[in-house]
Structure 1
Amino acid sequence: MKKNREISSEFAKSMEVYRIKKGISLNQLGRNIGISPAYLSRIKNRKRNAPSVPIAMAIAKELDMPFEHLMSVLGMNEEVRDIFELLSDNEFTINGKLADSTIKEAIVGVLKSVLPVILKGDIR
């Protein structure tokens, strides 16, 4: 995510597109995720610093925004892509067996499903 926590115009636009697509108001979105509608309005209008990753994840989850899209609008695609490229481009073993492309794809699939939970902070 951008270090200066400036609101990405893409995040603000995406939040609006997915909110309208889902057919809910800012008030309803705020109630559903426990965030003030005024805060969401400031994000929408880019008058607030970027939300924390857990808040951005809650917004994205409520609006059914795809994980890859969220990472893109938060400016985190490079970090995620680096992890996936490391797995895909390098040889490694699991229990003494060389990981083939099927195993690598399975690991990437698990990471894609687990990363949102990790970023949301739900893992203890």
Structure 2
Amino acid sequence: MMISAFSQASGLPVDTVRFYVRQGLLCPETGTKGGSRPYQMFSQADIDTARVIRLAQALGLTLKQIRAFVEDLSPSERATPRILSFLVEQRDRLHRKVSELQRLIEFLDAKITWINNPEDNTPPIFPA
């Protein structure tokens, strides 16, 4: 499929698709039409890669990390040792983030309770 159809199928704006191609995150085939600027032809595999990129961005990965991850993806292997290590690292990072967020929620709950209870003179302490 050409870039406009790919954009629609992947949910990515055309400019974002072009940016990902320039960054080496997406590697479409080059078509035979288009003269000095041949058409880029995207496949279902490119749509799958776009989904991985969007998920990785949602996890907070940099484009450099995403590129390394995408380069290691192989449909014939479950995972390379590098991918497995990367996935474990990201999972652990998310667990730490969840813990941080939970502490902040607990602080906010305590602050709300304190504000709603005028008799309580001891404000909650912000977590370190």
- Which of the two has higher C-alpha Rg? 2
Q: What TM-score, normalized by structure 2, do the two folds share?
A: 0.24
Larger RCO (alpha carbons 8 Å, 6+ apart): 1
